[in-house]
Amino acid sequence: MKKIGFIGLGIMGKPMARNLLKAGYPLVVHDIVSAPVAELVAAGAATGTSCADVAARSDVVITMLPNSPEVREAVLGPGGVIEGASPGTIVVDMSSIAPLASRDIAAQLAAHDVAMLDAPVSGGEPKAIEGTLAIMVGGPEPVFDEVKEILSELGASVTRVGEIGSGNVAKLANQIIVGLNIAALSEAMVLATKAGVDPARVFQAIRGGLAGSTVMEAKMPLILARNFKPGFRIELHVKDLANATDTAESLGVPSPLSAAVLQMMRSLAQAGHAHEDHGGLVQYYEQLAETEVRPL
């Protein structure tokens, strides 16, 4: 059984690491915040003193970090994974970062005979806890085959999309669709509420038709309950949509809807909602319409 290192124990990383422990994998963990490390050590993990130390004690190193700069620092910076990894070590970056950053980091690791996959996820905290994430993987197929069993402990679907960077391209596509779905849901339900129609009944009426979606099923009950506790924070969706629009611009691809939703989310983040769930996007519409989506 492969020894696994896990770097980044936030909202997503901590339950993912816990699921690997439950599956019986030897686990070494590291995070700049001590509390989640202590929780996982109490559950049976070992503590890594640095990213390099984690890599030196692992066959596979998983990173789950906020964005490209943090991944680059953890993997390539002083005391990083690259300093502790041996030839044959596999790095699986499960963060959502820019595809070009994944390719650059992978190239620098390859010079040390260390392989890398980019494997971002979708599903938020609930599916991270359940171990039912959707995992999108980019990288060499033989490397993917080596770690697919490990990733299957974290996700209900594990799909290799293509070469390195492809996983993050798939994640950008995912985040565009999710963000636009939340915006459409918000716009529609604020309209219904302002018109004096119970949004809870509208939800029941349309959820089984073509407008129904996983996004609606996940977010509408939370909106109705005014529960914006973060499963996936607005500030992280801002990051993903910024990466999406930057990538689109570099490729000459139009992305006007993504740009519009990005601006809405940035506006909310600047108004103090950055740490709320992205379902809180409804508040952007509510403020402009001077109404609140609640059961009538």
Asked if residues 94 and 119 have their Cβ atoms less than 8 Å apart, the reply is yes
Q: What is the CATH number of domain 169-289?
A: 1.10.1040.10
The CATH-assigned architecture of domain 4-163 is 3-Layer(aba) Sandwich (3.40)
Q: What is the mean pLDDT of residues 5-32?
A: 97
- Domain limits, CATH 3.40.50.720, in the chain: 4-163
Distance, CA of 192 to CA of 91 (rounded, Å): 48
Asked if residues 31 and 88 have their Cβ atoms less than 8 Å apart, the reply is no
Distance, CA of 119 to CA of 127 (rounded, Å): 15
SS3 69: helix
- For residue 186, the model assigns a pLDDT of 98
Residue 192 pLDDT > 90: yes
Which tokens hold the place of 7?
């770097």
Distance, CA of 13 to CA of 121 (rounded, Å): 11
Distance, CA of 212 to CA of 44 (rounded, Å): 42
Q: Characterize 187-211 residue by residue with b for buried, 16 or more Cβ atoms within 10 angstroms of its Cβ, and e for exposed.
A: ebbbbbbbeeeebbebbeeeeeeee
SS3 46: strand
Residue 231 pLDDT > 90: no
Spatial CB neighbours of 244, under 8 Å, sequence gap ≥ 6: 172, 175, 176, 255, 258
Average pLDDT, the chain: 97
Which tokens hold the place of 210?
């073509």
Q: For residue 281, give the DSSP letter.
A: G
Q: What is the pLDDT of residues 132-183, one digit of tens each?
A: 999 999 999 999 999 999 999 999 999 999 999 999 999 999 999 999 999 9
191 pLDDT band, cuts 50/70/90, is: very high
Asked if residues 278 and 233 have their Cβ atoms less than 8 Å apart, the reply is yes
Helical H segments across 25-98, by residue range: 34-42, 51-56, 68-76, 81-84
- Domain limits, CATH 1.10.1040.10, in the chain: 169-289
Strands 27-30 vs 46-47: parallel, antiparallel or unpaired? parallel
Q: What is the pLDDT of residues 83-106, one digit of tens each?
A: 999 999 999 999 999 999 999 999
- For residue 210, the model assigns a pLDDT of 98
- For residue 132, the model assigns a pLDDT of 97
Spatial CB neighbours of 69, under 8 Å, sequence gap ≥ 6: none
Q: Cα-flanking dihedrals φ and ψ of residue 196, to 5°?
A: 85, 15
Distance, CA of 59 to CA of 28 (rounded, Å): 11
Asked if residues 234 and 268 have their Cβ atoms less than 8 Å apart, the reply is yes
Distance, CA of 279 to CA of 63 (rounded, Å): 26
- For residue 124, the model assigns a pLDDT of 87
Q: Cα-flanking dihedrals φ and ψ of residue 239, to 5°?
A: -60, -45
Q: What is the pLDDT of residues 239-293, one digit of tens each?
A: 999 999 999 999 999 999 999 999 999 999 999 999 999 999 999 999 999 999 9
Catalytically active residues are 171
